[in-house]
């Protein structure tokens, strides 16, 4: 009876209409399959449960005693995103929902302690102490980013990932996109929270992006698709905002990668810090310029008077995936990110993502090892070939291939679709409304099993952001209150 029930509930899980239903069924399966007992048992060789238990007890005692100064000291000294290896992927490979109760209780206690320090009024730990503590500790702790890969029309899968994260209130503020991923990132980055829901409705996005050129036009321009049609589509979805204007409007940090079309240039990560006045839709157009499919793109920016002018005149840019599909290192340096949620739809990568996840959970074997050796050997052969070829001809082409081979295509948490030949064949075709809904649904369903892991591993950094937002608002109020007093003093 139990096996029959489990089989039936697994089928129900596959047909769940929303995350709430999916989660209820998954929790029932955890009970039926024994994962609930595993969660209740603190012990495991996969993390230092004694250290986590000790830290939990100490923090709870300090909070209950109301000792804010000592609590802040202990948090500042000992707070770490992977304390005792509690972020080990193996700890999320047993249960369908969540992980060890001890880990979840520890994370919940840390957030309670942060809220306590932020909201409380303490004679020996004043407002300036709070500001300093939260800024320094948040900087040391780091935060998460969502990275959206390329993949042509397959990139609509990202929209479902965004939908699931948004509905769960887990959408990171830092979102990076390459090629197709840059379209979704920029579309989200030019909207407020309350405006995002409309994107998932029929007609919420203009996706009439592809128009094939005639043979004569294609041979003349060196591209199969009409770049002007793609730009019209981007203008309808993104508008004319620059990176800094989009940031000021939505408070989201949108990053777009572009690759150089000429020699002597490097790939760029464009955002409100590195290219504040660059027009966002032009950056996305460049990031989508797959060689041979779309023509290279010249960037544009706003000048001091607000007029749109050429940016780096004479330089053209192409597909961002060629230099950095997932620009983790540069995002880490610019935005204090040390945890990456990756939505991966590149058709040449997706077939290997399940294997990457198994490796992260410690299930290594001969096949993954062989794949790694082939990758390393292939990259070495490409580097050797480049040395003996014309650097501006074949050598440069091999250089681009080498960049693609060397890249890292996975993050701390990976979300990816089930690859099908039919989807790959439609990479550069305009999707129908039914196609869009299928992609969104696919993205949602692939995200649901990862939501509790994302919730746990981002909860502390999200609490830091909330507390800093409240403290900054309070700081602004105090400043406003002081200004009349300062004016009266100055008038005397």
Q: Is the pLDDT of residue 435 over 90?
A: no
**pLDDT range class, residue 382, cuts 50, 70, 90:** very low
**pLDDT range class, residue 214, cuts 50, 70, 90:** low
Sequence-distant contacts of 90-93: CB under 8 A, at least 24 apart: 90/46, 90/361, 90/362, 91/44, 91/46, 91/47, 92/361, 92/453, 93/361
Catalytic residue among 30, 46, 226, 319: 319
What is the predicted pLDDT for the residue at 381?
Answer: 45
Which residues in 86-207 belong to E strands, given as ranges? Answer: 143-148, 174-177
Catalytic residue among 87, 144, 149, 179: 179
**pLDDT range class, residue 227, cuts 50, 70, 90:** confident
In 3D, which of 225, 240, 192 has the Cα closest to residue 296? 225
Q: Choose the weakest-confidence range: 202-211, 302-311, 380-389.
A: 380-389
List all residues 6 or more positions away from 351 whose beta carbon is below 8 Å from its beta carbon.
Answer: 419
The SS3 assignment for 351 reads helix
**pLDDT range class, residue 263, cuts 50, 70, 90:** confident
Q: What is the DSSP string of 439-485?
A: HHHHHHHHHGGGHHHHHHHHHHHHHHHHHHHHHHHHHHHHHHHHHHH
What is the predicted pLDDT for the residue at 253?
Answer: 98
Question: 178 — alpha (psi -120 to 50), left (phi > 0) or beta?
Answer: beta
User: In whole angstroms, what is the distance from residue 219 CA to residue 212 CA?
Assistant: 12
179 labelled catalytic: yes
For 427, half-sphere exposure in the C-beta direction (CA atoms, 13 angstrom radius) is 17
Residue with tokens 């449960």: 49
Q: Which helix (H) or strand (E) holds 392?
A: none
**pLDDT mean over 193-215:** 80
pLDDT digits (tens, 9 = 90+) for 320-357: 888 888 999 999 999 999 999 999 998 888 888 877 77
Of the spans 175-189, 222-236, 341-355, 427-441, which averages the highest pLDDT? 175-189
- Distances in Å between the alpha carbon of 365 and those of 369, 375, 404? 6, 16, 24
What is the predicted pLDDT for the residue at 421?
Answer: 55
**pLDDT mean over 272-293:** 95
User: In whole angstroms, what is the distance from residue 343 CA to residue 202 CA?
Assistant: 23
pLDDT digits (tens, 9 = 90+) for 400-422: 544 555 678 889 999 999 865 56
67 labelled catalytic: no
User: In whole angstroms, what is the distance from residue 456 CA to residue 101 CA?
Assistant: 11
pLDDT digits (tens, 9 = 90+) for 78-109: 898 899 999 999 999 999 999 999 999 999 99
For the chain, the C-alpha Rg in angstroms (whole number) is: 25
In 3D, which of 159, 199, 200 has the Cα closest to residue 177? 159
Two tokens at 113? 């302690």
């Amino acid at each position: 009876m139990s096996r029959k029930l489990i089989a039936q509930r697994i089928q129900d899980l596959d047909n769940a209409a929303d995350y709430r239903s999916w989660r209820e069924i998954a929790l029932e399966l955890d009970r039926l399959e024994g994962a609930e007992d595993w969660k209740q048992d603190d012990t495991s060789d996969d993390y230092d449960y004694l250290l986590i238990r000790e830290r939990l007890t100490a923090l709870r005692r300090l909070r209950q005693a109301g000792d804010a100064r000592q609590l802040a000291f202990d948090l500042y000294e000992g707070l770490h995103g992977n304390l005792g290896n509690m972020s080990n992927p193996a700890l999320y490979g047993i249960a369908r929902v969540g992980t060890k109760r001890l880990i979840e209780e520890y994370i919940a206690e840390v957030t309670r302690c942060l809220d306590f320090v932020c909201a409380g009024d303490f004679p020996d730990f004043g407002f300036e102490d709070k500001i300093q503590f939260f800024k320094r500790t948040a900087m040391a702790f780091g935060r998460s980013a969502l990275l959206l890969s390329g993949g042509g029309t397959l990139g609509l899968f990202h929209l479902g990932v965004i939908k699931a994260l948004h509905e769960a209130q887990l959408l990171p503020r830092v979102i990076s996109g390459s090629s197709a991923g840059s379209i979704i990132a920029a579309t989200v980055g030019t909207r407020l929270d309350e405006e995002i829901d409309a994107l998932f409705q029929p007609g919420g996005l203009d996706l009439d992006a592809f128009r094939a050129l005639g043979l004569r036009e294609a041979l003349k321009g060196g591209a199969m698709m009409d770049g002007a049609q793609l730009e019209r589509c981007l203008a309808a979805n993104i508008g004319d905002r620059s990176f800094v204007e989009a940031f000021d409007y939505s408070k989201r940090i949108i990053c777009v990668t572009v690759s150089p079309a000429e020699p002597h240039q490097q790939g760029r990560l464009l955002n409100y810090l590195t290219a504040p006045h660059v027009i966002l839709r032009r950056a996305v157009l460049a990031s989508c310029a797959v060689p041979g499919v779309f023509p290279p793109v010249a960037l544009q920016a706003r000048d001091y008077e607000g007029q749109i002018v050429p940016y780096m005149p004479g330089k053209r840019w192409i597909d961002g995936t060629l230099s950095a599909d997932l620009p983790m290192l540069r995002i880490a340096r610019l935005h204090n990110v040390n945890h990456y949620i990756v939505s991966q739809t590149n058709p040449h990568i997706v077939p290997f993502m399940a294997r990457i996840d198994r490796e992260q959970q410690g299930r290594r074997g001969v096949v993954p090892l062989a794949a790694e050796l082939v990758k390393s050997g292939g990259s070495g052969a490409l580097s050797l070939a480049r040395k003996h070829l014309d650097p501006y001809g074949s050598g440069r082409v091999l250089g681009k291939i080498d960049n693609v081979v060397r890249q890292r295509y996975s993050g701390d948490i990976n979300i990816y679709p089930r690859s099908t030949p039919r989807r790959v064949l439609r990479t550069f075709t305009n999707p129908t409304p039914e196609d869009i809904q299928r992609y969104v649904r696919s993205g949602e369903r692939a995200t649901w099993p990862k939501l509790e892991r994302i919730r746990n591993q981002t909860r502390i950094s999200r609490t830091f952001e909330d507390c800093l937002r409240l403290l900054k608002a309070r700081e602004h109020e105090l400043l406003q209150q002081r200004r009349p007093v300062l004016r009266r003093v100055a008038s005397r």
